[in-house]
Amino acid sequence: MTTFAEHFTNISVAAAKEQLQTADEFILFIGRPTCPFCRRFEPKLSHVAKENQLVVYYINSDYTTPELEEFRNTYKVATVPGLLVANAGHVRVVCDSSLSEEAILDFIKN
């Protein structure tokens, strides 16, 4: 049995902010192991990342801080799971645990 988000790279909120603004490509998953919707979404994202050799960064939202709340407000991440994709400073966000693997990949690539 795998551990929640074990295939993702943990990142701090401050580092995620910087990457979202400066990276050519950056994928961020915000979720928590205690969230049933996150537990439904995480294996699909993990499989997409593995099959497509994508690096996904992770912030555990179980530990809410003022910094994380501000970050979520800034990027309009109302619920988890939240998937943020940045391309050259342009950030897109989706919060939908029902996405299929195909829809996840399409969101990341487009």
Domain of 28, CATH number, reads 3.40.30.10
Q: Is residue 21 in some structural domain? A: yes
pTM for the full predicted model: 0.95
Q: Is residue 52, in this structure, part of any structural domain at all?
A: yes
Whether residue 86 lies inside any domain: the answer is: yes
| Total domains in the fold of the chain | 1
Q: Would you write out the chain's pLDDT as a tens digit for each of its 110 residues? A: 679 999 999 999 999 999 999 999 999 999 999 999 999 999 999 999 999 999 999 999 998 899 999 999 999 999 999 999 999 889 999 999 999 999 999 999 98
DSSP state of 67: H
Range of the domain at 41: 9-109
Does a structural domain hold residue 3? no
